[in-house]
Structure 1
Amino acid sequence: MSEAGQAERPVQTGRPVSPDAPAPDPRRWLALTVLLVATFMDLLDVNIVTVAIPSIQQDLGASAVALQAMTAGYTLSFAVILITGGRLGDIFGRKRMFLTGVAGFIAASALCTVAQNSEMLVGSRILQGFAAAIMVPQVLAIIHVTFAPQEIGRVVSLYAGMIGLAIVAGPILGGVLVDWSPLGLGWRSIFVVNLPVGLAALAGAWAWMRESKSPHAMRLDPVGMVLAIIGLLLLMLPLMLGRELDWPVWSVVSLVAAVPVIVLFVCYERHKTRKDGSPLVVLSLFKVRAFGAGIGTQLLFSCVPAGFFLSWTLYLQGGLGWSALHTGLTAIPFSLGVPIVGTIAVRTLFPRYGRYCLMAGSLMMTAGVASYAWVAQHLGTGITSWHAAPSMLLLGSGMGLLMAPLTGLILREVKPQEAGAASGIINATGQLGAALGVAVIGGIFFSALAGNVGAQADRVVPTVQAVSVQQADGIRACATDSLGQDDLTAVPASCTALAATSDRGSQDAIGGALDEIRARTFVATYSEALYWAAGGLAVVTCLLFLLPHRPHRPAEA
């Protein structure tokens, strides 16, 4: 759900429409409908996938790495193309690039629908991220040049409302589609939804949207983009693949090699700035203390929700056996807390309390994560949605307090003419943080899963009645092999051998023991992952002290 951060993209309500903007378009409200539909489609796709992950794993036999890549691949590809996507709109036309992005998103969604294996699905998700990175930046750019300043407030309210609706609807709709499985499509139905919605957006944009370009657009920076992609891949691939492959030499070499590539990227961006003033990343922004601290905060903060929801879904569906719909309904307190409290924070709390509003949000999120870890650990398999509701509400409300005002606070010390570049960096950083969170917290979760199963088996097996010593040893071996392998849905040889030794009288006892070990292992693992997430939020709270206390704009010459 990390893309909820798109709600932060600022629109300067006090700034006039650029001089090159055309006269008010009589069809602008129809065009706005198209932009809102595209925004909803993008965010719905991100949030809807969360509850479908266990079903995808079961159907395609997806590995732990594939599950992480399904989420991280989308956000990573979105992040590395995001700034370039906005620049393409300035150069070649925002309507043209919006149409290109929507068409690409439809095509990628169709590929996801017909994916025959996890590799094809991961590749299609990456293509979705590329297409979204071309489509999404055009939305606020088109709004900015299409609507008069006195209309912007109303437009932004509608935009934020659509984002809130997507956050709320995503998990619920995903659960309904996966459980209902219309036409027998199962998890594929979550991608089929994009096809009619995308086609409607494509037709509406073609009919109602005006073309616009920037007369002072910056040039493309393909070399910088390639260096950024290489550096990020060198960093992310070992984090996702290293655990599964037992950290081979290449993974360590890759992590080390990421450093000089990133340094080379910085050097090239400085050269590009001197050469034509069109770097991919405007490095001078990092000289602003609040901006640098804010980017660090954004990066680390974005890790937590993305990693949380990946492990949360696996814990509820894979460990406790909850349905996709049950899981989606459990997310309602979170989904309501983010937009409602975020609106209150922006309008009332942040203007009055400044940085303390963000700190309160970080502390509230920490309390939500830590309390969920405690509840999960102490209630075990007896936990219900009602038990989780207070923690989910704390987590969502804290995210609203922190996320919604963060961009505005960071941008307060950035020069107005650099606000667009700064906003692009902030949003790209949020996406990178989400990809990093999936890789790191997901890696912690799967590593801990294999490490915890033995201890849980030792607790459960002695309590099992009506089994022989040989069968007790077989239960331990089956449980250990099942949760220690890469594909959690595969049946290892030890489980097949155990089934061969069990008679009708012991089958129920053995099956119950294996289910209990699995559930206990997921509970212990999830609690452990949450404590790591709470530690990350504690660091976020410390970083917030580097931001200015009160929102203010420096005097301009």
Structure 2
Amino acid sequence: MKHKYLKLLVILFGQLLTIMDIFIINVSIPSIQRNLDASNGEMQFMIAAYLIGFASFLITGGRLGDLYGRKKIYFIGLISFMVSSIACGISAGAEQLVISRFIQGISAAMMAPQVLSMIQILFTVHHERTKAMGWYGITIGIGTILGQFLGGYFSSLTIMEEPWRLIFLMNIPICLPAVFLSLKLLNESKTSVKQSFDMGGVVMLSAGLFCATYALTMSEHEGFHFKNAGLMVISAGIIFSFIKNQKRRVQNKRSYLIDFDLFRYKNFNLGIVAVSFFFIMLDSYFYILSLFFQDGLKISPLAAGEIIVFQGLGFILASAVSVKLILRYGKKALIAGLSFIIVILILQLFLFRIQIGFPIFCLLLFLHGLGVGSIIPSLANIALSGMSEKLIGNASGVYNTFQQVAAIIGIVAVGSVFYYFLGTKPLVKHYHNAFSVAILINILCLVFVIASVFKVPNHVLPEIRRKK
């Protein structure tokens, strides 16, 4: 049993790196721009490059693990992530940093599906898997907090001329033990059916996802102009052609990238719907909250960061505690957690309109984190439960892709609504109105998540009663 959890620790190193580097660059943007003499457009690419590379290659990463070995692809991802982090840290210009961040995102896409796949393979018993997914949730919380904290900490150091480089170079002492331990401890697993790799499918899908994620990510900064709208149309056409191509290849018994048997699992479909609406809610919430706090309520960036850290602390605590509730009450615990988030959002609608002290802000964010932390690990458990080992890598890649694309859609779509209600010359009351509309959209998303969880078969998240 202890050996299993040691292996879990090794694979969670990859998850920690993946999450941490999504957030770590945000606080360092001003110093990077100043030192590299980068334009605003180059800085936008710098932020977007990681997410675009990550979202575009998750399905490919999952399929590579299925065919060539999950340990092998995880190891390659770790090495690539370390090398690309070094390239980020020694970048001489903005263009080199953008390219290195893009490769870093692709490396993360090689690791992330293997993490979920290996958890499902390592922990076959429901209560063990639920506990393991609790640790998966804790890792997400730690990565979120560490990314924001360390980004600010290293950027403010005075021991060197360009301290922001340390936010990338600090990945080396995390990667090195992970590389060594993964070689020593992890067992290889892959599908027993020998197939060639569908490189044409990779090119088509990656191009389609690249166009979509690029257009959505850049729309956050530029607005949804003709160029981005055109890229979305091109993306839709490529992905439609890809789906037809994949179905034809499966029928002809040729190599493929996505096995559409995935979508015959009811719990997988429900898990995909649930995670999509949940991350539309979650990432748009953080985006709107940051704008509302700093621009609307005139809270300093440092104080806003401190408040959001309390959300992360609640997330970590809930990920640990919610395991017992999920095992005891099954999907009822999830529905209760989602309802709790709705209640906290409603409280924020009213309490943020009046003069409240710093401790109340922290408490409301902490409670929101408790709700979020009780949900995220189980959504992956719902989607991947009962999945055959042949499909698990494919399923993990598809699940992660939906999650990342939904997060970007949430920021762009809900952010656009927020700015619409804000107007051109916003006052404090306009910020309150725009925030209220955005929160109501978030609540609607959570209602869809509740409906999806409600339809999940009871055997997927069974209630385990203790014997008296």
Q: Same fold (TM over 0.5)?
A: yes
- The separation in 1 between residues aligned to 2:132 and 2:273, in whole angstroms, is 30
Does the 8 Å contact 2:137/2:376 carry over to 1? no
- The separation in 1 between residues aligned to 2:394 and 2:113, in whole angstroms, is 12
2:110 is equivalent to residue 134 of structure 1:
yes
Change (3 A) 1:244 1:103: closer
Change (3 A) 1:523 1:219: farther
2:19 is equivalent to residue 43 of structure 1:
yes
- The separation in 2 between residues aligned to 1:544 and 1:157, in whole angstroms, is 18
* Residue in 2 that maps onto 1:474: none
Superposition deviation, residue 331 in structure 1: 2.3
Matches within 5 A, 1:251-266: 251-266=228-243
2:412 is equivalent to residue 541 of structure 1:
no
Deviations 1:399-440 (A, max 9, x none): 123222223333456567544433332223222222333333
Does the 8 Å contact 2:215/2:228 carry over to 1? yes
Change (3 A) 1:404 1:162: closer
Change (3 A) 1:442 1:124: farther
Q: Which amino acid aligns with 1:220?
A: F
| Among 356, 374, 378, the residue aligned to 1:405 | 378
Matches within 5 A, 1:105-120: 105-115=81-91, 120=96
Does the 8 Å contact 1:238/1:252 carry over to 2? yes
Q: Which amino acid aligns with 2:55?
A: A
Change (3 A) 1:349 1:95: closer
2:400 is equivalent to residue 427 of structure 1:
yes
Deviates further, 98-107 or 214-223: 214-223
Deviations 1:16-51 (A, max 9, x none): xxxxxxxx99xx988766544444333322343454
- The separation in 1 between residues aligned to 2:168 and 2:70, in whole angstroms, is 26
Change (3 A) 1:420 1:85: closer
| Among 229, 234, 257, the residue aligned to 1:280 | 257
Matches within 5 A, 1:76-115: 76-115=52-91
Superposition deviation, residue 77 in structure 1: 2.4
Q: Counterpart of 1:131 in 2: which secondary structure?
A: helix
Does the 8 Å contact 1:76/1:435 carry over to 2? no
Does the 8 Å contact 2:48/2:214 carry over to 1? no
Deviations 1:453-480 (A, max 9, x none): 5243xxxxxxxxxxxxxxxxxxxxxxxx
* Residue in 1 that maps onto 2:333: 357
2:365 is equivalent to residue 392 of structure 1:
yes
| Among 391, 406, 411, the residue aligned to 1:438 | 411
2:188 is equivalent to residue 212 of structure 1:
yes
Overall identity of the aligned pairs, in %: 25
Does the 8 Å contact 2:55/2:109 carry over to 1? yes
Q: Which amino acid aligns with 1:452?
A: G
- The separation in 1 between residues aligned to 2:152 and 2:100, in whole angstroms, is 21
Change (3 A) 1:547 1:30: closer
Q: Counterpart of 1:280 in 2: which secondary structure?
A: coil
Where does the alignment leave 5 or more consecutive residues of structure 1 unmatched?
1-12, 14-23, 457-518
- The separation in 1 between residues aligned to 2:49 and 2:461, in whole angstroms, is 37
Does the 8 Å contact 1:84/1:220 carry over to 2? no
* Residue in 2 that maps onto 1:297: 274
Does the 8 Å contact 1:345/1:404 carry over to 2? no
Superposition deviation, residue 82 in structure 1: 2.4
Superposition deviation, residue 327 in structure 1: 3.8
Change (3 A) 1:318 1:109: farther
Superposition deviation, residue 323 in structure 1: 4.1
Does the 8 Å contact 1:71/1:435 carry over to 2? no
| Among 320, 323, 344, the residue aligned to 1:346 | 323
- The separation in 1 between residues aligned to 2:396 and 2:48, in whole angstroms, is 21
- The separation in 1 between residues aligned to 2:338 and 2:114, in whole angstroms, is 31
Q: Which amino acid aligns with 1:271?
A: R
- The separation in 2 between residues aligned to 1:184 and 1:155, in whole angstroms, is 42
The CA RMSD over aligned residues, in Å, is: 4.2
- The separation in 1 between residues aligned to 2:93 and 2:135, in whole angstroms, is 39
* Residue in 2 that maps onto 1:75: 51
- Equivalences, count: 458
Superposition deviation, residue 306 in structure 1: 2.4
| Among 178, 189, 195, the residue aligned to 2:172 | 195
* Residue in 1 that maps onto 2:153: 176
Q: Which amino acid aligns with 2:446?
A: L
* Residue in 1 that maps onto 2:466: none
Deviates further, 391-400 or 236-245: 236-245
- The separation in 2 between residues aligned to 1:266 and 1:229, in whole angstroms, is 13
Superposition deviation, residue 270 in structure 1: 0.8
Does the 8 Å contact 2:82/2:175 carry over to 1? yes
Q: Counterpart of 1:227 in 2: which secondary structure?
A: helix
Superposition deviation, residue 131 in structure 1: 0.7
Q: Counterpart of 1:75 in 2: which secondary structure?
A: helix
Change (3 A) 1:391 1:152: closer
Q: Which amino acid aligns with 1:439?
A: V
- The separation in 2 between residues aligned to 1:425 and 1:152, in whole angstroms, is 24
Where does the alignment leave 5 or more consecutive residues of structure 2 unmatched?
463-468
Change (3 A) 1:404 1:316: same
2:428 is equivalent to residue 452 of structure 1:
no
- The separation in 1 between residues aligned to 2:122 and 2:386, in whole angstroms, is 27
Does the 8 Å contact 2:216/2:408 carry over to 1? no
- The separation in 2 between residues aligned to 1:159 and 1:111, in whole angstroms, is 28
- The separation in 1 between residues aligned to 2:313 and 2:139, in whole angstroms, is 13
Does the 8 Å contact 1:224/1:265 carry over to 2? yes
Change (3 A) 1:428 1:277: farther
Q: Which amino acid aligns with 2:363?
A: P
TM-score by length of structure 2 reads 0.79
- The separation in 2 between residues aligned to 1:385 and 1:62, in whole angstroms, is 36
TM-score by length of structure 1 reads 0.68
Q: Which amino acid aligns with 2:342?
A: T
